[in-house]
Amino acid sequence: MLYGQVHLTLPAWVHDAVDTARTYPRDEDKVTLAIALSRGNIEAGTGGPFGAAVFGPGDRIVAAGVNVVLPQHSSLAHAENMAYMLAQQRLQRARINQDDSGTRDGPYTLATSAQPCCQCFGATIWAGIDRLLIGARADDVEALTEFDEGPLPADWVGELERRGIAVVRDVHREGARAVLAAYGSGGGRHY
Amino acid sequence: MLYGQVHLTLPAWVHDAVDTARTYPRDEDKVTLAIALSRGNIEAGTGGPFGAAVFGPGDRIVAAGVNVVLPQHSSLAHAENMAYMLAQQRLQRARINQDDSGTRDGPYTLATSAQPCCQCFGATIWAGIDRLLIGARADDVEALTEFDEGPLPADWVGELERRGIAVVRDVHREGARAVLAAYGSGGGRHY
């Protein structure tokens, strides 16, 4: 008998923590939400210290994600991947910024509290976003926590930009680092 | 209102196509199943021409996966990722070859009909497998179909092997190529 269902769930507290009525116009507004999700996730004990969100036309939120790897038994369930999967299932499209006939809208932006690891880098190539906003650097993650970011192409920023994905780094880097530091020093349950 | 559920399903025909009672002792046996899944997926019209399976102790099947990207609206739902997620949720572990306290068993092997793309390469780093068996090469995928494999680290095989994942390529490569060629020439619905 094969196991036939993958089921992943956004923790319940995220629904209360995200204001879907407002807009998030600036890059800093978008990353501030991703960092708040990363902090909320360690405070609630629902996963690792990472948060992300997809924003669409009008700077409105399309989907939010947090790391639920250990509690939901899925190495795929990083914050960025959760946000991508939830955005795609909500929009009923395999690529966020185009329908299955190739008609595009947007722009769509992913904001993430920390640089995507090797897995989320690869997922970002196919997810269908136009902009990627990053808080903490990979070096911050590896210096402040026990997490490993994995092997990336040497010019990972260039690989994204050549595929039409603009990359902005160090947005509220210090705020993102503070959550990682709190987690690394035992401020949250270890996932 | 946020969308809060990710739900992905193995197509119903896969349950009939996979004999879970038998063992798959040789590398060739394992990849033969992955290739059969890739062919079945284009014949059934349930996704792209890619199949994969995770095998565990005793050379028994733990999970099977096929590409369901377009029909299920998820750029994450490549064959390898489906097999990893289904294996992890079945075993109730975030890493296939160890429990959450770090106790290991195995070996666990992923067999895939074609070389993992950039996204599935990254997922393979974290999934918890000991061996990776590959049918067709990335060059075959890109020559025979319109799929793009994306950017990998220059020494992607070495990156996996340094993390304890043995890589075996070109297992039944011609059989895997034949499915890609059938798909590329219009033998299947285009997903």
Tell me what percent of the residues of chain B surpass a pLDDT of 90.
94
Is the per-residue pLDDT at B84 higher than 90?
Answer: yes
Q: How far apart are alpha carbons A39 and A188 in whole angstroms? A: 9
Is the per-residue pLDDT at B190 higher than 80?
Answer: no
In a domain, A92, yes or no: yes
Contact A154 B151 (CB under 8 A): no
For residue A96, the model assigns a pLDDT of 98
Choose among B76, B65, B60, B61: nearest CA to B14. B65
In a domain, B13, yes or no: no
Contact B86 A156 (CB under 8 A): no
Q: Is pTM, for the whole model, over 0.80?
A: yes
Choose among A119, A35, A58: nearest CA to A85. A119
In a domain, B132, yes or no: yes
pLDDT tens digits, B17-44: 999 999 999 999 999 999 999 999 999 9
Is the per-residue pLDDT at B186 higher than 80?
Answer: no
Does any CB of chain B come closer than 8 Å to the CB of residue A132?
Answer: no
Number of structural domains in chain A? 1
Tell me what percent of the residues of chain B surpass a pLDDT of 70.
97
Q: How confident is the model at residue A1 (pLDDT cuts 50, 70, 90)?
A: confident
In a domain, A42, yes or no: yes
Does any CB of chain A come closer than 8 Å to the CB of residue B118?
Answer: yes
∠ Cα A98 A103 A106 (to 5°) = 50
Is the per-residue pLDDT at A56 higher than 60?
Answer: yes
Q: How confident is the model at residue B187 (pLDDT cuts 50, 70, 90)?
A: low
In a domain, B51, yes or no: yes
For residue A100, the model assigns a pLDDT of 84
Does any CB of chain B come closer than 8 Å to the CB of residue A189?
Answer: no
For residue A187, the model assigns a pLDDT of 52
Choose among B176, B146, B133, B119: nearest CA to A117. B119
Longest dimension (CA), chain B: 50
In a domain, A1, yes or no: no
Work out the average pLDDT over A115-135.
98
For residue A131, the model assigns a pLDDT of 98
Work out the average pLDDT over B108-130.
98
Choose among B172, B164, B54: nearest CA to B111. B54
In a domain, B77, yes or no: yes
Structural domain boundaries enclosing A93: 27-184
User: CATH number of the domain that A109 lies in?
Assistant: 3.40.140.10
In a domain, B89, yes or no: yes
Judged by DSSP in three states, A190 sits in coil
Taking CA–CA distances from A5, the nearest residue in chain B reads B9
Q: How confident is the model at residue A151 (pLDDT cuts 50, 70, 90)?
A: very high
Q: Which residues on chain A are in Cβ contact (under 8 Å) with B151?
A: 125, 153, 156, 159
Work out the average pLDDT over A5-32.
97
Q: What is the mean pLDDT of chain A?
A: 96
Q: How confident is the model at residue A189 (pLDDT cuts 50, 70, 90)?
A: very low
Q: How far apart are alpha carbons A143 and A92 in whole angstroms? A: 38
